[in-house]
């Protein structure tokens, strides 16, 4: 867990550093799938710098995160590693100070009855947004992708289609 103890923060600017574990940043697959071909990346060797500016009851938090993402290549389906980095800024303040009508992901309420701000989800989301949309392994860009495939053999044809194949053969033989 990556959390800020707001009791220990002083008024003004300060920098904090974290080295979250792979388990801290684990992304759960919505469908519960695991293993090779899993759509969710795994992050390791993570480093997070958090710059906090405290102004009364407001905490402006700038997150700078970097990690090595273990990805699956979209072209080859082989695993590969890619260094990624991302940043995000958010302001935490008491709910009473927040504009009730405005929806803003960059302004969040301070947790009630807690002296900590949990940044785990923010760091994980920042890293997830840094993952490229097209995940192409180094060297896979030059690979020739087959666009045509050979004729299907008798073994490749689904046996349920054999009856239709016989109908086609019969209709080709008899004139209409």
What residues does each domain of the chain span?
3-172
Q: Please answer whether residues 125 and 105 qualify as being in contact, where contact means their C-beta atoms are separated by less than 8 angstroms.
A: no
Confidence of residue 35 (pLDDT cuts 50, 70, 90): very low
Rg (CA), the chain: 27
pLDDT tens sequence across 43-80: 989 999 999 999 888 899 999 999 999 999 888 888 99
Tell me, rounded to whole angstroms, the distance of Cα 114 from its chain centroid: 28
Parallel, antiparallel, or unpaired for β 107-109 and 79-93? parallel
- Nearest one of 31, 20, 27 to 41, comparing CA atoms: 27
* Percent of the residues in the chain that have a pLDDT greater than 90, as a whole number: 29
Listing DSSP states for 80-143 in one string gives: EEEEEEEEEEEEEE-GGGS-SS---TTEEEPPTT-SEEE-HHHHHHHHHHHS-SS---TTGGGP
pLDDT tens sequence across 23-33: 888 876 555 54
The secondary structure element, H or E, covering residue 52 is: strand 42-55
Confidence of residue 126 (pLDDT cuts 50, 70, 90): very high
């Amino acid at each position: 867990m990556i959390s800020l103890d707001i009791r220990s923060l002083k008024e003004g600017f300060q920098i904090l550093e974290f080295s979250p574990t792979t388990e801290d940043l684990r992304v759960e697959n919505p469908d519960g799938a695991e293993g090779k071909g899993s759509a969710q990346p795994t992050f390791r060797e993570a480093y997070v710098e958090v710059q906090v500016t405290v102004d009364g009851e407001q905490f402006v938090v700038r997150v700078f995160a970097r990690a090595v993402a273990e990805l699956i290549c979209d072209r080859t389906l082989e695993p590969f590693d890619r260094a990624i980095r991302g940043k995000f800024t958010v302001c935490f303040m008491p709910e009473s100070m927040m504009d009730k009508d405005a929806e803003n992901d960059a302004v969040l309420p301070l947790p009630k009855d807690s002296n900590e701000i949990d940044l785990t989800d923010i760091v994980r989301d920042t890293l997830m947004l840094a993952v490229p949309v097209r995940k192409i392994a180094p060297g896979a860009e030059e690979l020739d992708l087959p666009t045509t495939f050979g004729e299907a053999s008798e073994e490749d044809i689904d046996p349920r289609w054999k009856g239709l194949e016989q109908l086609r053969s019969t209709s080709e033989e008899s004139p209409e």
